Amino acid sequence: MIAFKDLGEVLKITLKWEHKLKDFYDVAEYALKSPESKKAVQILRDRLTEKLEILKGVDVKSFGKTEWVRYAPASRDEDLIPIGKIRRDTAAEEIFDHLLDYEAKLENTYSSIANNLISRTQKDLFESLAAFKSEQIEEIRSLKASQMSKQ
């Protein structure tokens, strides 16, 4: 467990994780051979990019007095984001599995942070991030099922 001093510190790390995930989507798009799979990853990446813009614009002061964020899971970047796990010949199913795995890890991390916050507005922020990850997971599952049924 990591103890954070304030919301700004947590948001900074969150942005870093989301940027690394966006980079992974870029690599996944390049690695996928199927035009449909490429398009699916492109759509997911674009949605993530939209959320990143919103996150970048978050004014920490608008969430009230920052508080001590007691504890959040100890998450190293390499545990969350799949660095170097795909190659040009990686099967689409494996790429979707990596995406599902890491989106789920981020969802759990955001939920854990939300559970450790006291301020309702700050809690809402991380609950909305977890909900976004949940939506992404469902989209990935749907896209994976669609791609696998075509093979």
Q: How far apart are CA 124 and CA 56, in angstroms?
A: 17
The mean per-residue pLDDT over the stretch 52-64 comes to 79
Domain boundaries, the chain: 2-150
Q: What is the pLDDT of residues 105-151, one digit of tens each?
A: 889 888 988 887 777 888 888 899 899 889 989 988 998 888 778 76
Which pLDDT belongs to residue 130?
92
- Whole-number mean pLDDT of the chain? 79
26-52 residues labelled b (16+ CB within 10 A) or e (exposed): ebbbebbeeeebbebbeebbeebeebb
pLDDT number for residue 131: 93
58: phi then psi, degrees, rounded to nearest 5 = -65, 125
Q: Nearest 5 degrees, angle CA 113-CA 117-CA 121?
A: 110
C-alpha to C-alpha distance for 101 and 29, rounded to whole angstroms: 17
pTM for this predicted structure? 0.76
**55 Cβ neighbours under 8 A, 6+ residues apart:** 11, 14, 15, 18
Q: Is the pLDDT of residue 100 over 80?
A: yes
Q: Tell me the percentage of the chain whose pLDDT exceeds 90.
A: 8
Among the four given CATH numbers 1.20.1260.10, 3.40.630.30, 3.30.470.20, 3.20.20.70, the one describing domain 2-150: 1.20.1260.10
| 38-42, 60-64, 94-98: range with lowest mean pLDDT | 60-64
Average pLDDT over residues 76-99: 71
Sequence-separated (6 or more) residues with CB below 8 Å from residue 57: none
User: Per 3-state DSSP, what percentage of the chain is helix, strand, and coil (rounded to 5)?
Assistant: 75, 5, 25
